[in-house]
């Protein structure tokens, strides 16, 4: 009953002081997706993450920014984006929408969604964006080199996959040096 739900959500938004406006728009995006209106759903989620006043939770002191809700919206936006051809513009937008404290986690999620839905080139670009972060630990780098190796192998890019394997092996050696004999 997504069409019916969408009508109810639209009616609710007509009230100026309706609480949880962002949550209503979030649910509308999912209704749009389930009605095969992916582009409309994407625009709704993008509007939400660009509007801090909508990414809130009601509290005793009134609406407050909600990092968990913001993260949920972005995880779902990654899923929505991955249902169509992911462009560089979307990768850049997604990165800019991500709160600093969750950026790495969200980029990994986005790359995983792209890979899961067969968008190997987009997954490579997102993993590469992730690797640009100077604050990554050796363990985080190792994880992504292994993921890149698999993505490139799956895409038939065996030479690049071998290069990624070498990077992973070198990173692993730094993390876990061989014991002296």
- Helix H or strand E encompassing 27: helix 21-34
Q: Quick check: 74 and 97 in contact, CB under 8 A? A: yes
Sign of torsion over alpha carbons 115, 117, 120, 126: negative
The pTM score is: 0.86
Q: Quick check: 113 and 79 in contact, CB under 8 A? A: yes
Quote the mean pLDDT of the chain: 90
Tell me the average pLDDT across 15-32.
92
User: Could you read off the pLDDT of 73-87 as tens digits, one per residue?
Assistant: 999 999 999 999 999
Distance from the first to the final alpha carbon of the chain: 68
Instruction: Identify the three-state secondary structure at position 65.
Output: strand
pLDDT of 178 over the 70 cut: no
Residue 111: pLDDT band with limits 50, 70, 90:
very high
CA distances from 133 to 71, 100, 103, 141 (A): 19, 11, 10, 10
């Amino acid at each position: 009953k997504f069409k019916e739900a969408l009508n109810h959500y639209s009616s609710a938004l007509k009230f100026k002081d309706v609480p949880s406006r962002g949550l209503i728009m979030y649910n509308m995006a999912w209704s749009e997706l389930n009605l095969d209106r992916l582009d409309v759903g994407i625009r709704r989620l993008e509007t939400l993450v660009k509007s801090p006043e909508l990414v809130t939770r009601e509290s005793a002191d009134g609406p407050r920014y909600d990092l968990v809700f913001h993260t949920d919206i972005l995880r779902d936006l990654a899923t929505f984006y991955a249902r169509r051809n992911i462009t560089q513009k979307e990768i850049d937008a997604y990165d800019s929408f991500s709160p600093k404290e969750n950026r790495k986690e969200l980029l990994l999620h986005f790359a995983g969604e792209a890979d899961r839905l067969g968008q190997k080139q987009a997954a490579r670009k997102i993993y590469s964006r992730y690797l640009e972060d100077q604050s990554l630990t050796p363990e985080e780098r190792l994880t992504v080199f292994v993921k890149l190796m698999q993505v490139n192998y799956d895409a038939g890019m065996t030479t690049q996959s071998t290069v990624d394997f070498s990077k992973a092996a070198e990173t692993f050696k730094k993390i876990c040096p061989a014991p002296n004999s």
